[in-house]
Amino acid sequence: MPTLFKRSNGVYYFISYTRDGRRRWISTGERQKSDALRKLPAIDLDDVRKKQPPRLSIYIRDFLSFAASIYSKGSVGIYKKSLTHFLRVAGDLEISNISARHIDLYRQRRLGEVSPVTLNIELRTLRAAFSYAVRWEMLKSNPFSHVPLCRIPECSPAFFSASDFQALVSAFKEKWLRSIVVLAACTGMRRGELVNLKWRDISLTERVVRIQSDSTFRTKAGKRRVIPLNNVAIQLLSELKISEQTEYVVTINGRKVRDVWVTRRFKQYLRRLGFKDNYHFHSLRHTFASWLVQNSVPIYEVQQLMGHSTISVTARYSHLAPSQLHSTVEGLSKQIVLN
């Protein structure tokens, strides 16, 4: 029979088993020894053990299996990378034993390996991953919920000027790459959205493209949005529609374009033309937003077109519209009279 003992709170506990060299105590919920003894046969020790928080490696395995069913392949990759790095630093401990010390050590180690921006992405990813442990009642609280992010100097997103963009497009030898880049600048679509774009998602008569998940692709956060198409996009898509008789909008000899091909080839052209290293394919999305703001499009409309969840994400482009802001404050002159 398990050994009973009474804690300072007046409740009787018993030893269920040991793990990691530590005793695990289970509460009977009773303050009278006789009641606690009667309750012992009703307590299923095997069931109690099953409810104990899993080791980190087991949680990572189960979480990634679950994440693959609701998140995009790219998001699952970020979760896997972040969790694997944390496992390497913290060790394969029970998730209930994750402490501030483990997290601080992880921050220290990773700052020596990656940039503060990358570390912040990993910290936010870990916070999201362990929120499921709380939801699944494996943890009472999220160990990453109050972890501060690294301070990042505010800087403007890198985007292409009209002349730089034209020079870039003119340098392309590949038709498929040119098509993807022009569509990115015209719509603000992400790389994954572009390579997975299908003709059924496009209506040339309505002049819109519908970004949505399907059995082979999941949008960021599973969100669906509709983007209007301008004349340049309509012309390009009309030309592709005539020449391409495939399921996907942009292909290479009828084959689906892979994400890595786009990233690698685009970066090669950037380096060849002398662009700085902070320019990459995602800069085309920044270019779309920046050009909209420079053309006096209201920031809330830019938010909708970009598919941002909050206006604060879009607000980083607002400094690009000084002339619009000047005209806005000039309206106050009517209310102010100098003697």
User: Which of 112-121, 156-165, 216-225, 245-254 shows the lowest mean pLDDT across its residues?
Assistant: 216-225
- For the chain, which residues make up each domain, given as ranges? 4-50, 56-135, 162-320
**109: its two tokens:** 């180690």
Average pLDDT, the chain: 85
Contact 80, 64 (CB under 8 A): yes
Report which listed range, 147-156, 214-223, 235-244, 276-285, is most confident. Answer: 276-285
Please give the pLDDT value at position 42. 57
155 vs 299, residue with greater confidence? 299
User: What would the mean pLDDT of 33-52 be, rounded to a whole number?
Assistant: 62
Taking domain 56-135, whether its CATH number is 2.40.128 is answered by: no
**2: its two tokens:** 């398990």
Q: Is the pLDDT of residue 48 over 50?
A: no
For 304-334, the pLDDT digits (tens) are 999 888 888 888 887 776 555 556 556 666 6
For 248-300, the pLDDT digits (tens) are 999 998 899 999 999 999 999 999 999 999 999 999 999 999 999 888 888 88
Please give the pLDDT value at position 317. 80
Q: Is the pLDDT of residue 162 over 90?
A: yes
Q: Is the pLDDT of residue 303 over 50?
A: yes
**CA 9/CA 4 separation, integer angstroms:** 14
Contact 269, 168 (CB under 8 A): yes
User: What would the mean pLDDT of 42-65 be, rounded to a whole number?
Assistant: 75
User: Which of 91-100, 161-170, 203-212, 305-314 shows the lowest mean pLDDT across its residues?
Assistant: 305-314
Please give the pLDDT value at position 139. 92
Please give the pLDDT value at position 32. 83
**CATH topology match: 56-135 vs 162-320:** no
For 123-147, the pLDDT digits (tens) are 999 999 999 999 998 999 999 999 9
Contact 314, 306 (CB under 8 A): yes
Contact 199, 249 (CB under 8 A): yes
Report the DSSP beta bridge partners of residue 22: 19
CATH of the domain spanning 162-320: 1.10.443.10
Please give the pLDDT value at position 324. 57
Q: What is the pTM of this model?
A: 0.67
State what percent of residues in the chain have pLDDT above 90.
56
Contact 311, 317 (CB under 8 A): no
